[in-house]
Chains A and B, each alone.
Chain A
Amino acid sequence: MRRFFSVLLAVVEKDLRLEWRTKESLLVMVVFALLVLTLFSFAFGPGGGSGENARAVQAGILWISFLFACVIGLSRTMGVERESTGFSAMYASPADPSALYLGKVVSVAVLMGIMEFVGFAVLAVLYHADVWKSAGALALIAASATLGVAAAGTLFSAMSARTRTREVLLPVLMFPALVPVLIAAVKATEAHLGGGGWADSRDWIRLMLVYDVVFLVAASVVFEYILEE
């Protein structure tokens, strides 16, 4: 068990150090998320339109921009593995494949978390959303959604990175599988942005946690077949 976690942490450390030195993924992710957040304002009118529907639109805009941005981040982190023959190294190493997978998930989730922090702050400013009042709830929602996105995204990007079309296939594989997370995250975020309470978001958070567990377990089991050569 200790070995498992030391492998996991080694992968996280490697990925984050690489990111710290190159700053290749995070910067692009954040800028891209900001861009999408801004573009949606032009598409739906300033602040995501007016009226009672505005909160729902804002929650949707926020999560769609996060999903789009994380496609970029995922392609980067798996692209690096492909270019530096990281996959072969992982396969050759005696480390447990599920520890390698979970390490990747954690490092992707950390990058996404930072991006989401900025995204929520921008939402508060550009869309006049009351983010701070229910910051705790939103953090919990973001954490459970991010885990799901990272879990599915890591698995699918490990596959798509090694297809002929490279990263192009990632959204096609990933987005349909992420529908439950998107629905739940948007609904829960909408509830808290609109001043609603836990009663409206509790079930959605539970749904995301179920998704996280199902995906993390299933993907940990099958990840060794992805690494195989």
Chain B
Amino acid sequence: MRRNERGAFGWLPVLTLCVLAFAIFADLFIAGTDRLQGPPQRIFYIHVPSAWVAYFAFFLVFIFSIRYLAKRNPDDDIRAHASAEAGVVFCTLVLITGPIWARPVWGVWWTWDARLTTTLILWMIYVGYLMLRAYMTEPEQRARFAAVMGIVGFLNVPVVHMSVEWWRTLHPKPVVMRSGGLRDLPDSMHVALWSSLLAFTLLFVCFVRKRAQIERLNVRVEEARAAREDG
């Protein structure tokens, strides 16, 4: 194991902080105020990047889980674990910022909209993933079970989304969401959105690296303890 993990990407946290500072500035000052929604619309710059990062994180869990089962490298298990944890953090952020944004704009804290509901269920699936890990002691078995959960959970996401979407189409949409997508955004909002997305992605990478580093140290501590008890 490398002695100093910080070596290769030691500058990453610094870069993340700089981008994050710029993104916050862009979100608050560069981007214009939305004419219809007013200042609450700025939550968009936290909400949407968090959602993208969360989905990306769960995709990484899926990939690392497959890799673990194929190659049995414990490091893949550590990476899957770290991605899942960071993913749950960002997913939680989505679920917290969503209602804060919805309340002033839609007049309700929550609507059972397809994307919202899918995100909620996704959050539950990966909280389950983390709980499964927490309640298992044997590292090798834990890694295998978690990998199975990471694969099956991710495969389930499209089916969940489809079912929730059909479930909702039978009801009237409580609020009309403005459509038009990204093309309708003015340039200043693009700057804010993309810088936030970059900042959140870098932040995610920092979290995962740090978490994986801690976990590797944990493994070494366990090994040292076991060695001492044996000797």
Contacts and interface: CB of A to CB of B under 8 A. Distances in A.
Contacts of A211: 159, 163
Contacts of B69: 222, 225
A224 to B, nearest CB: 10
Given A169-B131, A173-B149, A183-B167, A207 B162 contact: yes
B173 to A, nearest CB: 18
Interface in B129-165: 131-132, 135-137, 141, 144-145, 147-149, 151-153, 155-156, 159-160, 162-164
B166 interface: yes
B125 interface: yes
A173 B162 CA distance: 20
A210 B156 CA distance: 11
Contacts of B174: none
B155 A169 contact: no
B164 A172 contact: no
Nearest to A219: B152
Contacts of A54: none
B96 interface: no
Nearest to B161: A180
Interface stretch (A22-30, A66-74, A160-168): A160-168
B149 A172 contact: no
Contact of B163 (A162, A169, A183, A226): A183
B23 to A, nearest CB: 32
Interface in A210-224: 210-211, 214-215, 218-219, 222
B156 A228 contact: no
A163 B128 contact: no
A162 B141 contact: yes
Interface string A151-166: 0000100011011110
Contact of B124 (A176, A180, A215): A176
B224 interface: no
Interface of A is mostly: helix
B151 to A, nearest CB: 6
Interface in B89-126: 121, 124-125
Q: How large is the interface on A (under 10, 10 to 19, 20 to 34, 35 or more residues)?
A: 20 to 34
A33 B79 CA distance: 42
Contact of A155 (B127, B128, B135, B148): B148
B144 A165 contact: no
Contact of B128 (A165, A176, A214, A219): A176
A163 B128 CA distance: 13
A76 interface: no
A24 B163 CA distance: 34
Interface in A159-199: 159-160, 162-165, 169, 172-173, 175-177, 179-180, 183-184, 187
Given A159-B145, A169-B132, A177-B156, A218 B151 contact: yes
Interface string A93-135: 0000000000000000000000000000000000000000000
A62 to B, nearest CB: 17
Interface of A: 155, 159-160, 162-165, 169, 172-173, 175-177, 179-180, 183-184, 187, 203-204, 207, 210-211, 214-215, 218-219, 222, 225-226, 228-229
